[in-house]
Amino acid sequence: MGLLSKKDANLILDPLADNNPITIQVLGICSALAITAELKASVVMALSVLFVLGVGNVVISLMRNIIPSKIRIIVQLIVVATLVIVVDQVLKAFAYELSKTLAVFVGLIITNCIIMGRFEAFALGNGPWKSFLDGIGNALGYGVILIIVGFFRELLGSGTLFGIPVLGDPIAKTGLYATGYENNGFMIIPPAALIVVGIIIWVQRSRNKALIEEA
Amino acid sequence: MLEHLELFFKSIFIDNMVFAVFLGMCSYLAVSKKVSTAVGLGAAVIFVLAVTVPLNWLLDQYLLRDGALVWLGPEYADYNLSFLSFILFIATIATMVQLVEIVVEKFSPSLYNSLGIFLPLIAVNCAILGGSLFMQAREIPSLGLAFNYGVSSGIGWFLAILAIAAIREKIRYSNVPAPLRGLGITFIITGLMGIGFQSFGGMLTGDNEPPEEVETSTAKTIEEKEIKKEIEDEEKAVSYNEVINE
């Protein structure tokens, strides 16, 4: 890490674990849960948020001294909305099938609390380079959880990863299915995402006792 | 009348904002520690959804969708501005929330005192934007139904946050494993409630969602047919010219 000072590196690394936007800051849950039934959708969503948050943080940080604080929410919304339109149009042009699966959830990046949360908490008070790192770090922290949830839901729910069967063929009973293993259809339905995230929080907090909440 | 009833119950129970599509989870988790605040936020969500969904329906119908500008004149029939819907919807929502805040403060201070603190929060609540985007995606056919959709999905969200707030008030007296306390157990309870709500899925037997695949494929075949037609026309024209030349 010759390029980054230790402080800068922490901006990226902290949100990955101990200050994770989803499990610790409780931001941006909506989209994290709704689209994680497949790994591919999770990855695309994570990349979209990475783009929007990275660029958005820089833009807001550059404008931080000229935005009147009374109308900052609207300014932020317009910046995010513009970036999201770019993402949406790119997805529609190059990954049409996927943009159908993600449907309205691409649009909902606009109201993803991570974005507004980082704008408010970081970009409005820091320079562009730091804000960029902070944006990337938080988007990665978000992406990590998304990918973990997507991985388990797709693997246990349909026995595939990125749509490729990895546990054998459930109909021909090959691979793991020969031993009597069955796909867990429960993992596909939406509420399973909540339970998977709940378990991730459980694991993380039992490994790091400092994160446990007061009752 | 029947379709209003169907949409009403469907948006409250089957397509519940929280349990089926996870909208507004941030404020759902953050503001559900006490029943009284949960009721305030829930009421504000119903109110704002009831205002913004019909408004965005009008925008979608007369400005954004493919050929929506035809009322300006036949030469505008080809315009499709739907890529602007995100930015217009969110701008409508942000301004409406501000406007509602001002109006309510002026005319009903008591309502303002109970809703007031939550209104600014709501502009960035995904349930609100989600309501408008789903309204657009599901192609709700009339203004009345759009209003109905806004109100009923607001009520669904209200019920969800009310239920989780009541459960969280009680769970304080239970012996939850330390790492699960707070956020973790709330997630798992919401998951279990969601599974409960899934059982409402059998309540309406009508067709749930229009088969989108079919629509796109027919659109494609129509396009292909048109292209073929054009090619054939061109070929005809060419052969016609050849005949003339001969």
Dihedral of CA atoms A81, A146, B49, B2 in degrees, nearest 10, equals: 120
Kindly state the percentage of chain A with pLDDT values over 70: 92
Chain A closest-CA separation from residue B152 CA (Å):
19
**Stretch A91-101: mean pLDDT:** 83
Put residue B165 in one of left, alpha, beta given phi > 0 → left and psi -120 to 50 → alpha. Answer: alpha
Residue range of the domain that includes A55: 22-207
**Residue A164 counted as domain residue:** yes
Looking at residue B5, its pLDDT comes to 85
Q: Is A205 on the interface with B (CB under 8 A)?
A: yes
Chain A closest-CA separation from residue B236 CA (Å):
34
pTM over 0.80: no
To the nearest 5 percent, what fractions of chain B are helix, strand and coil?
Answer: 80, 0, 20
What angle, rounded to 10 degrees, do the helices at A113-121 and A39-63 form? 30
**Residue A15 counted as domain residue:** no
In the stretch 121-160 of chain B, residues with CB closer than 8 A to chain A read: 123-126, 128-130, 133-134, 136-137
How far are the Cα atoms of A146, A204, B151, B236 from residue B241, in angstroms, in the given order? 62, 77, 64, 8
| Buried/exposed A75-92: b ≥16 CB within 10 Å, e otherwise | bbbebbbbbbbebbeebe
- Inter-chain contacts counted by CB atoms under 8 A, chains A and B: 153
**Residue A178 counted as domain residue:** yes
**Residue A79 counted as domain residue:** yes
Distance CA B200, CA B10 (A): 9
**Residue A170 counted as domain residue:** yes
Q: Is A198 on the interface with B (CB under 8 A)?
A: yes
Distance CA B43, CA B35 (A): 12
Structural domain tally of chain A?
A: 1
Neighbouring C-beta atoms of residue A198, cutoff 10 Å: 22
**Residue A71 counted as domain residue:** yes
Distance CA B114, CA B3 (A): 34
**Residue A63 counted as domain residue:** yes
Facing residue for A30 by CB, picked from B19, B25, B181: B25
ipTM over 0.90: no
Q: Is B209 on the interface with A (CB under 8 A)?
A: no
* Pairwise pLDDT comparison (A186 vs B205), residue with the higher score: A186
CA within 13 Å, CB half, B36: 2
Distance CA A69, CA A59 (A): 16
pLDDT digits (tens, 9 = 90+) for A97-127: 888 877 777 878 887 778 887 887 888 888 8
Distance CA B20, CA A34 (A): 8
CB contact under 8 A, A111 and B125: yes
Facing residue for A110 by CB, picked from B83, B86, B184: B86
Q: Is A104 on the interface with B (CB under 8 A)?
A: yes
**Residue A57 counted as domain residue:** yes
Q: Is A197 on the interface with B (CB under 8 A)?
A: yes
Task: Give, for all 246 residues of chain B, the pLDDT tens digit.
Answer: 788 888 888 888 888 888 888 888 877 887 788 888 788 788 888 888 898 899 988 888 888 777 777 777 777 777 777 788 888 888 888 888 878 778 777 887 777 776 656 666 677 777 888 888 888 888 888 888 999 999 999 999 999 989 999 998 888 888 888 788 878 888 888 888 888 888 887 666 555 554 444 444 444 444 555 555 555 555 555 555 555 554
Q: Is B58 on the interface with A (CB under 8 A)?
A: no
The pLDDT mean for chain A works out to 80
Residues in B closer than 8 angstroms to A110, CB to CB, are: 86, 90, 129
Contact B70, B77 (CB under 8 A): yes
Whether the per-residue pLDDT at A47 is higher than 70: the answer is yes
- In chain B, whose CA is at the least distance from the CA of A31? B22
CB contact under 8 A, B94 and A73: yes
In the stretch 77-96 of chain B, residues with CB closer than 8 A to chain A read: 83-87, 89-91, 94-95
